Structure 1
Amino acid sequence: MNVEFRPVDGGLRVHDHIESVTYEIGFDSDTAVEPAGTDVFRVPLTRAVAVTARELVFPSLTGVFVHENDRLALDVPPGERGNRGPGAYEIDVSAVPLKLFFRVENAPINVDSTADVTVVDFGESTRVRIGVRSLHEHPADTVTITDTPKDLMHAVSTFGSAMKTTSPERSFPTMRGHPPTIDRGDALDIPDNLAPPDTDIRIEVPARYDDVYAVSTLAYYLCARVVPGSTPCVVADGHSFSFPYDDVSRSANAFLRHCFTLDCVVRTEGLYPVDLAERDTVTERADLDLAALYERPLAARTAAYLNVPLAVTDGVFAWHLTADVEPSIEHAELLPYLVNDLPFVRSPAPDTGVAATAPDPATVSEFFRGTDVDAFVRSTRPNDTDDARGADLDLDGGGRVVSPVDAETVGHAWVGEDYPRGASKPTVESYRRRIDRTVAEDTVIDVTVVCNDSEMRKEAANLYGFRDMIDFDIETHFDLTAAETRAALESETDLIHFIGHITEDGIRCRDGTLDVRSLRGVSADAFILNGCRSYAQGMALVDAGALGGVVTLADVYDHVATPVGRSVARLLDNGFDLHGALHVATENVATGSQYTIVGNGGVTLCQHHMGCPKVAVVDTDEIGPERLTVSIRDYVTRDIGPGTITSPIVSDSPIRYLSSPSNHEFELSHADLDSVLSSGRAPILVDGELLWSDEIDVATLRE
């Protein structure tokens, strides 16, 4: 069973074994936990139990939606209270790392989300059904294609079959299933259950690989067929809408963002009529009948959206991921896994032959304000700095470093034969392993830290295990031999964090060098190889079984490597995926571009306790005598994806926001910010420096 219910003192622990997600619900007294059916819930759920309790206690501030039949009877954001009289209610607890619902019959409801926890009180002991659904998704089937652009069009046309609804609620991540996978073969074969949905929407583009790739996410989201056409356009409800730009990918991505944003706004007329900030922005720019749009079928609604100027949604919602795909049939099998993350897809030509250079000592020295950085580089080669500068990176006998065209998004993936600077390099195998992940036998996250250099031991201390309700088993090893390092890397673990010297040929051990390409297999989901030029060894870890990890493209100074390595580790511990963790950890770090991701950049170590992981941003020049401005960014992950609603805990306003890396600004008193900072461990960027909330207060910020 993927989802397990386990009674604990004072409550119930819910554990999703596949996603390594643990969530705990408190009760007012001990109660028996009995199996229950899921058929009474209005949404599909994986498993349910029944308990008898007067109140349910959730370990953090969270939004609570109370449904009565098909209407929202009560909406209580974090920091608020609400109540309803006796009735039959279904309670949706938002911003937790799995779908969590409760069902009561003939009971009143009082919700209090004003303290450090959220309490739902029924007035007296009441039978409560608790239902859960894992956020893990698996493709329904596979399309086989031949090596032609038209067959690829047929395959992309089936992607919309994974949508669980054609209503505006498809903008919720839980309403978007995984697209069918693609295999290459001798003949086109589309299983009957993957027939393209009949939505009266089609996308016309030239039958070329780059154009088909470019419209793949748009076709998935619109449930559209992709057909050959000389002039790129979207045809919906009998109306043709020409692409607004000469570039097909730019146009497709603009239409995608536009339709998605409008769906998020229009869905506030449906099952979740929340006070959404983005709704206010859009309706201020255009006079839209949102209720009428909500009721329209998909094709008519899409046509109406595309009649709305793109400027109406411009800048309203920040996208999260861009995937650059070389226009070759060789990458068709990776496409469904990419599209599942709802990225912008492009096929631009990169800048090739870019040198992978060591950091400039003058730049690093200036960054560290005079610190002596004279040559402590994480490499085993003499004169590395001189040898590396100006030379192309040669991995495995012939790889080039390329610089993909800049992306506006936090995440950036490169699908091609070369080695990208500033982007991840995913593989089909790394995605397949995550999809096919089997149920873990325990609820503990195993972390293996290996430090093979005595001068780097500072980085190995206090990296993980700061989260309540998540059990970590951390093994830290120092100064291992090659055989011992091999055993550590091949052990049953969830995360490998290596600290030490690395070259393209291997990682340095006490008695020599270990080439990771010689490993029999790796069970870890994620890894950090924090040494110079660790790219080749990182790709070897992915080839051996890991899902993804952080590596370097060139030499890095220890003064940079130590804070980056520690920050990535702590951000993974805080629920960030690899893309988000690396973005935050290197945002204001000199030579941060030397770090990149191999394999699946969407890998998470654990889930954030309030849904999307968040970063607070403070400019100390803006701190006034009594009040200050704080910006909050959300970093969406694969499981808590775009379309998620968030309620920033720094504000007691009922206004909700769409989770995105946009800065949402809030004005707070000093006392209010101190209260937020002391409520838990969270990352905060202060004048560009990454700090942690449990280590600072307003007084230290003002010093």
Structure 2
Amino acid sequence: MEDESPDGRVAFEVEGETLTVHDVIEGQRLRMTADREPTLSPALPELFPFPVDDAVSFEAESIAVPEYASVFVRDADGDFLSRLDEAAEFPRGSYYIEINGSVKTLVRVADVSISATGAVGSDPVELALDRTTTVTVGGRSFHTRPEATITVPDDPAALTEAVSVLGSSIKEFSPERSWPTLRGYPPRIERGDSLDVPSPLTVPDTGVEVVVRPTYADVYRLSTLSYYLGARMTVGDAPAIRLENGYEERLPTEGPALERRVEELLRTWFFLDTLARTEGYVPSDRYEYDQIGGKLPFYPPNLAEKSMSERLMEYLEVGAETVAPYAPVWATEAVLRPAPEAAELLPHLAHVLAPVRVRGESDPLAPDAPVALATSPQVPIGPSKFGSPGDVVPPRDAASVSSGTSLMTPAAYENRLDGEVAEHGEVTVAFLLADAERARSVRESLPDSAAPAGVESWSVHQRPDREAVTEVLSDSTLDIVFCGLPVTEGRIDTTDGSVDTARISAESGPSGPTLSVFENDRNLSASLSAVDRGSTSSVALGGAPRSTSIAEFVALLAKGSPIALAVSLAFGEDDVDARFVGDPATGIATDRGNVPQLYSFRVAGSDSFRVLLRSYLTTEFRLGREIGLIIDPLDSKKSLVGAPEREVGQVDSSGIRAIHDEKAPVLRFSDDLVFWSDDLTDEDVAKFAERSLSEGAVSESGDESRF
């Protein structure tokens, strides 16, 4: 666990005619070449319409960028003009060139004309100016990991100082901060003997103050809201939010009531920020805006330039019930003990904007009692099989963690920061199975590398010995390990004895697959040991799912689905429950940058089907991102990722196949899932509809069949 930016978030380096923009936190570099050796001068980040961490200026008549993902040209106000994917000419004026690549980079030139060439395929982009001029280059770290670590003693008053600087990772405090890319990863918190806040970290100047009583319970409950507001957290007699104009919003003093009010404020203020930004950096035509805009006492974009206090005064006029039907569902909700050990989780929970509840005793009876639990409310969990995202309480030991609940540890988040996220099509999987018939069944459900979709390689180890089990469970090149071997008190039975999973952790050090899944890990020992040795997450299943369900589970993960969703959709019909270690919204892979999507269908008539869309948040796709549809004739308006399911239109069977051809969403027909690699014909659709009608499935409206 090392801090990544002791000398700043972005640095600029010159070698010959090449200027390198160095993202210090990420360890990435973007290079550009000028027509002469750049002589750098410091420049004001405020020269740019978008936030940058640092900037420099130099004289040049041309620049070239050899490696990039995309290049956009914007006008003097920062408004989009063109994407450079072919040669283009721009008349005399002032421009910003937005370069998206290994480092977020902006280039500013004023009073010049530009001739852009080379932006075809993998050729370098070359920008020739009509005269020698000042070129200003700004860089912004992607900031996907903490830049520093705060040390805090076991004192809730001292912890308020640490929480006050969590918002230092947010790039600006206009409504644009509702975009996840402008909310960097907060600094770590670690326990120590005395308070130490590293010098790069400062309390944001937002004019907002969050008042808490000097208890862990108050600090934890208000930590995520304080982070999002960039507020200074101070100690007082009663919880409150104070604005720089003198207004004070008093908060309930009773614990659960305080939690509910804080969650209401966080949801409402965040959602209204996403409306206020609609004419901002990335203009959007939003479904939610159409539904709620006319009900608000203000025109949201008019608040974009207001101070934080002015905006919040307006936002306080909007009731939580107005926003709730359209706001995204939380990816993660946390429940912490009011104990100092839980403090280290606060930055990670703030990063995903997780509401925090506090339950249980500060000094539990058992030394190994869980300090923190979490649920994922966005997952369509059944009435009892996987639990429900309700008011859970940390139990006396890990074995008592309830179904559908995650045991949270800082190690799981740290492992995610240190690891790589697989791309769809490159996921690697290994199965450890004791029964020959089951091993055969699993092999048959995975006939080749294309099934399940997105898997590059897989292996089935039938009746492995201790050496093979140890090797697989400590293999960091694997993305998923599914262990169907008998597990008792953290020991796994093999053909020549048992393997102590805790001993693997001790002997192999931090090395393990991204996700470890264990059947019948009753006390979570094997699952906890997996995270201890390097897994990002682990799942303990209370039974043995069908082989076809396992294949769907792996395919969902390869599509980028959060772990809890993959478990719910794949194993929902099997007689197993599930418990987790790590954030239940963790994504194991990404699918070409696509947000996880699920299209469900309801019979509306003869060869006519209503289409319902749901998108899901993960640790990779966080709150504030938008998703749009490009499939005719479906509604093309964007919506927030994680928003409640909505109907986006009606299609016939050919329309369903057109959605399937997009290769991005997963399709759901009743309890059947269809992936992009699956064949889907009109006859298949007709069979699904016929079966749905014959089973008498009824939609939520009570008059149509869902499949």
The TM-score with structure 2 as length reference comes to 0.73
Aligned to 1:691: 674
Aligned to 1:394: none
Q: Distance in 1 between matches of 2:574 and 2:452?
A: 33
Aligned to 1:30: none
Q: Determine whether 1:343 maps to 2:350.
A: no
Aligned to 1:605: 588
Amino acid at match of 2:680: I
Q: Distance in 1 between matches of 2:292 and 2:568?
A: 29
Q: Distance in 2 between matches of 1:299 and 1:484?
A: 60
Shift of 1:172: 0.6
Aligned to 2:623: 642
| Counterparts of residues 532-551 of structure 1 (less than 5 Å) | 532-533=520-521, 535-551=524-540
Q: Distance in 2 between matches of 1:101 and 1:585?
A: 44
| Counterparts of residues 61-210 of structure 1 (less than 5 Å) | 67-73=74-80, 86=90, 106=114, 127=126, 135=142, 137-210=144-217
CA contact (8 A) 1:201 1:299 kept: yes
Q: Determine whether 1:632 maps to 2:616.
A: no
Shift of 1:45: 9.7
CA contact (8 A) 1:650 1:673 kept: no
Shift of 1:482: 1.4
Deviation string, structure 1 residues 637-682 (Cα, Å, up to 9, x no partner)? 2232110011134456542111115213122322222112133264
Deviation string, structure 1 residues 403-446 (Cα, Å, up to 9, x no partner)? 97977444979877633221211212222233344899xx9654
Amino acid at match of 2:356: V
Shift of 1:209: 1.3
CA contact (8 A) 2:453 2:675 kept: no
Amino acid at match of 1:632: L
Amino acid at match of 2:126: R
**Aligned residue among 273, 276, 294 for 1:263:** 273
**Aligned residue among 237, 247, 250 for 1:242:** 250
> Aligned pair count?
599
Amino acid at match of 2:153: T
Aligned to 1:498: 482
| Counterparts of residues 510-589 of structure 1 (less than 5 Å) | 510-519=495-504, 520-521=507-508, 523-533=511-521, 535-552=524-541, 554=542, 556=543, 558=544, 560-586=545-571, 588-589=572-573
Q: Distance in 2 between matches of 1:265 and 1:82?
A: 34
**Aligned residue among 640, 643, 655 for 2:637:** 655
Instruction: Return closer, same or farther for 1:49/1:628 CA change in 2, 3 Å cut-off.
Output: farther
Instruction: Return closer, same or farther for 1:615/1:82 CA change in 2, 3 Å cut-off.
Output: farther
| Counterparts of residues 201-240 of structure 1 (less than 5 Å) | 201-237=208-244, 238-240=246-248
CA contact (8 A) 1:613 1:635 kept: yes
Q: Distance in 2 between matches of 1:479 and 1:102?
A: 59
CA contact (8 A) 1:348 1:405 kept: no
Amino acid at match of 1:324: V
Shift of 1:349: 4.9
Aligned to 1:418: 397
Q: After alignment, is 650-659 or 197-206 more displaced?
A: 650-659
**Aligned residue among 606, 613, 616 for 2:599:** 616
Shift of 1:700: 1.6
Shift of 1:606: 2.3
Q: After alignment, is 499-508 or 640-649 more displaced?
A: 499-508
**Aligned residue among 316, 324, 331 for 2:326:** 316
Q: Distance in 2 between matches of 1:71 and 1:285?
A: 30
Shift of 1:453: 2.4
Q: Distance in 2 between matches of 1:131 and 1:469?
A: 40
Deviation string, structure 1 residues 444-484 (Cα, Å, up to 9, x no partner)? 65443333321222235539965999883444433321122
CA contact (8 A) 1:530 1:565 kept: no
Shift of 1:43: 6.1
**Aligned residue among 291, 300, 314 for 2:310:** 300
**Aligned residue among 431, 435, 459 for 1:449:** 431
% identity of equivalent residues: 25
Gaps of 5+ in 2: 5-22, 55-62, 129-136, 381-388, 688-707
Amino acid at match of 1:255: L
| Counterparts of residues 4-43 of structure 1 (less than 5 Å) | 36=33
Amino acid at match of 1:283: G
CA contact (8 A) 1:549 1:600 kept: no
Instruction: Return closer, same or farther for 1:681/1:204 CA change in 2, 3 Å cut-off.
Output: closer
Aligned to 1:381: none
Q: Distance in 2 between matches of 1:465 and 1:132?
A: 41
CA contact (8 A) 2:538 2:580 kept: yes
The TM-score with structure 1 as length reference comes to 0.73
Q: Distance in 1 between matches of 2:191 and 2:371?
A: 28
Q: Distance in 2 between matches of 1:45 and 1:192?
A: 16
CA contact (8 A) 1:203 1:226 kept: yes
Instruction: Return closer, same or farther for 1:100/1:146 CA change in 2, 3 Å cut-off.
Output: closer
Q: Distance in 2 between matches of 1:572 and 1:132?
A: 33
CA contact (8 A) 2:370 2:396 kept: no
- Asked which structure has the greater RCO (Cα within 8 Å, sep 6+), the reply is 1
Q: Distance in 1 between matches of 2:349 and 2:51?
A: 27
Q: Determine whether 1:700 maps to 2:684.
A: yes
Shift of 1:486: 1.3
Deviation string, structure 1 residues 262-303 (Cα, Å, up to 9, x no partner)? 010000122222111112222122131223211102222122
Q: Distance in 2 between matches of 1:156 and 1:492?
A: 33
CA contact (8 A) 1:65 1:72 kept: no
Helix, strand or coil at the partner of 1:295: coil
